[in-house]
Amino acid sequence: MGALFSVAEIRQAEQAAAAQLAPGTLMQRAGQVAARIAIDLLGETPAPPVLVLAGPGNNGGDALEVAANLAQAGVDVTVVHLACVGDPSAETAHALAKARASTAEFTDALPAGGPWALVVDGLFGIGLARPVQGEARAMIEAVNALDCPVLALDVPSGLDADSGAVIGPDGVAVRATHTVTFIGNKPGLHTFGGRDYAGEVLVARLGIAEDMLPGASVHLNEPHLFDLAFVARLHDSHKGSFGDVAVVGGARGMAGAPILAAKAALFSGAGRVYVASIDHGPAYDNAQPELMFRDAANHNFDGSTIVAGPGMGDSATAIRVLARALDGDSPLVLDADALNLIAASPDLQSRLSARHASSILTPHPLEAARLLGVTAGVIQGDRLEAAREIAARFDAYVVLKGSGTIIAMPDGEAAINPTGNPGLASAGTGDVLAGLCGSLMAQGWPARDAALAAVWMHGEAADRLVAQGAGPIGLTAGELPEAIRAVLNRMVAERPKRAGQPQS
């Protein structure tokens, strides 16, 4: 349903389909569907002027097909065409002749002024391998300064379709409001820079049969991936029915972090929630008196799902408590300082790798970089691969946080999360996510489903708060648990509808 494909997989499917079709068929189909989307975006009669940027390759050929189709529909079209150094492909040459034979106006330079009702970006597609320079770079910078919709063809020019990174250390990419991507959806449109550059993503299969695409190992994170784990509660239940969560953290000066995690666990349905403090912490939380406070060094964690790391610090006590948690048989969520301690200790890494119980790791990019011994830039350069490497190395489920959070499984499967907004870029929201992961596992959810659902609901709760006017600017972590509770209860109540089951 939400399958994502690498550039190599798309190329393979494209070649297989082209071998069965007349030359130029796929380019013509791409031009037709993109022109229809452009007309929908224009939404006015008579149609206002459209600027089409056509690059030297086949992505430029797609753009030329769009220009010809728009001109035929009566749209006022101006085309800037960057000719290739050598001979273009036969398909692109045909599209160029078709566009020149239409009423579209061609120009060698980006026209000054405007205003344009729409810009169609067909400068570079998924084959771009080096930073955009020269005239094309100037065009992208000028387009990014415009105040109008921008429709990118296949991928915004300058963006890596696999990773979501802008190509090159000093590269540029088109900031599109909409992207129509061809044959299959791509991971890079949904993570790292992808969500900022691609805008709304529309997928056009171009008539390619599903069996020409490989089985996807990466998907967009959607409720159908974890829906079976939502279960309505029985009347005949008690607090012991829903598990215990112990949040381990709270070194001196950081007592708030484990309380945020614990509150998330409580509001998402855990039966009993403990805060196990590394240093002398509060004995009582006036805002949430249901929470129970313990001394981490002396607390018995047997039977509890452990969330270790929020505000944990790096003391000798923290290391000893973490080692004990790693050696135990309890489901374990590792966040923040717990990840930093593990990254710095081969012994703790060995303990984590040797665990038989389920583990979920929730690093942000810098924590992930420490785990792999690289820089955060390397992590962000290929978030999907980094998350998979950590999952394989530690035989754990990994939640690599950030725009388009990656959820990676030990077997190589992965998902990219589409929910959430910039309001989550604030202190404590990661603690809330860790507490939510622990709560779902304590209630009996498999680690895979818990990780997928927690990330999706965490983002959905933030989106709900923004829709209600609470953010994204100024949204706080403390607002999330109640919103998560609302999302969770709605998901449980609506599951029979999603599954097509009769309502009770």
Is there a single domain that holds both residue 137 and residue 191? yes
Kind and range of the H or E run holding 364: none
Q: Is the pTM of this model over 0.75?
A: yes
Is there a single domain that holds both residue 322 and residue 245? yes
Q: What is the pLDDT of residue 117?
A: 94
Give me 280's structure tokens.
Answer: 């002398």
Give me 499's structure tokens.
Answer: 């599954």
pLDDT tens per residue across all 504 residues of the chain: 699 999 999 999 999 999 999 999 999 999 999 999 999 999 876 668 999 999 999 999 999 999 999 999 999 999 999 988 778 899 999 999 999 999 999 998 888 767 899 999 999 999 999 999 999 999 999 999 999 999 999 999 999 999 999 999 999 999 999 999 999 999 999 999 999 999 999 999 999 988 899 999 999 999 999 999 999 999 999 999 999 999 999 999 999 999 999 999 999 999 999 999 999 888 889 999 999 999 999 999 999 999 999 999 999 999 999 999 999 999 999 999 999 999 999 999 999 999 999 999 999 999 999 999 999 999 999 999 999 999 999 999 999 999 999 999 999 999 999 999 999 999 999 999 999 999 999 999 999 999 999 999 999 999 999 999 999 999 999 999 999 999 999 999 998 887 765 443
Domain contains 504: no
| CATH number, domain with residue 149 | 3.40.50.10260
Alpha-helical regions (H) of 199-345: 256-267, 316-327, 336-343
Is there a single domain that holds both residue 317 and residue 348? yes
Domain contains 321: yes
Kind and range of the H or E run holding 389: helix 383-394
User: Binding site residues for (6S)-NADPHX, as ranges?
Assistant: 58-62, 125-131, 154, 257, 311, 364, 431
The answer to whether 401 touches 431, Cβ cutoff 8 Å, is no
User: Binding site residues for AMP, as ranges?
Assistant: 401-405, 430
Residue 349 gets the label, from left (phi > 0), alpha (psi -120 to 50) or beta, of: alpha
Is there a single domain that holds both residue 282 and residue 415? yes
The answer to whether 55 touches 157, Cβ cutoff 8 Å, is yes
Please identify, among 156, 186, 216, the residue that sits at the C-terminal boundary of a domain: 216
Please give the residue range of the domain that contains residue 65.
3-216
The set of residues, in sequence order, having a beta carbon less than 8 Å from that of 114 and lying 6+ positions away, is 49, 51, 146, 148
Domain contains 426: yes
Is there a single domain that holds both residue 203 and residue 280? no
Q: What is the pLDDT of residue 403?
A: 97
Is there a single domain that holds both residue 156 and residue 181? yes
Residues present in the chain in total = 504
Q: What is the pLDDT of residue 85?
A: 77
Is there a single domain that holds both residue 330 and residue 458? yes
Please identify, among 176, 197, 216, the residue that sits at the C-terminal boundary of a domain: 216
Beta sheet of 406-408, edge-to-edge order: 3-4, 218-220, 414-416, 406-408, 397-400, 359-361, 332-334, 304-308, 244-249, 272-277, 292-295
User: Binding site residues for K(+), as ranges?
Assistant: 59, 121, 157
User: Binding site residues, as ranges?
Assistant: 58-62, 121, 125-131, 154, 157, 257, 311, 364, 401-405, 430-431
Is there a single domain that holds both residue 75 and residue 209? yes
Q: What is the pLDDT of residue 44?
A: 75
Is there a single domain that holds both residue 179 and residue 256? no
Q: What is the pLDDT of residue 114?
A: 72
Cis peptide before 472 (omega within 30 of 0): yes
Number of domains in the chain: 2
Domain contains 398: yes
Q: What is the pLDDT of residue 504?
A: 38
Q: What is the pLDDT of residue 503?
A: 44
Measured at the CA of 208, the angle between CA 203 and CA 39, to 5 degrees, comes to 40
Give me 143's structure tokens.
Answer: 């387009």
Rounded Cα gap, residues 449 and 470, in angstroms: 28
Is there a single domain that holds both residue 10 and residue 100? yes
Helix, strand, or coil here: 295? strand
Please identify, among 216, 248, 273, the residue that sits at the C-terminal boundary of a domain: 216
* 306 DSSP β-pair partners: 246, 332
Domain contains 393: yes
Domain contains 503: no
Distances, alpha carbon 215 to alpha carbons 228, 288, 392, 473, in Å: 22, 47, 20, 40
Is there a single domain that holds both residue 337 and residue 415? yes
Rounded Cα gap, residues 314 and 337, in angstroms: 7
Pairing of strands 414-416, 406-408: antiparallel
Return the closest-CA partner of residue 370 out of 343, 410, 349: 343
Cite the beta strand spans of 409-497 per DSSP E.
414-416
Domain contains 148: yes
Domain contains 334: yes
Is there a single domain that holds both residue 321 and residue 184? no
Measured at the CA of 143, the angle between CA 141 and CA 145, to 5 degrees, comes to 75
Rounded to 5 degrees, φ, ψ at 218 are -130, 135
Return the closest-CA partner of residue 138 out of 85, 174, 86, 169: 174
Count Cα atoms within 13 angstroms, Cβ side, for 242.
20
For the chain, the 3-state helix, strand and coil shares in percent, each to the nearest 5, are 40, 15, 40
Kind and range of the H or E run holding 459: helix 447-467
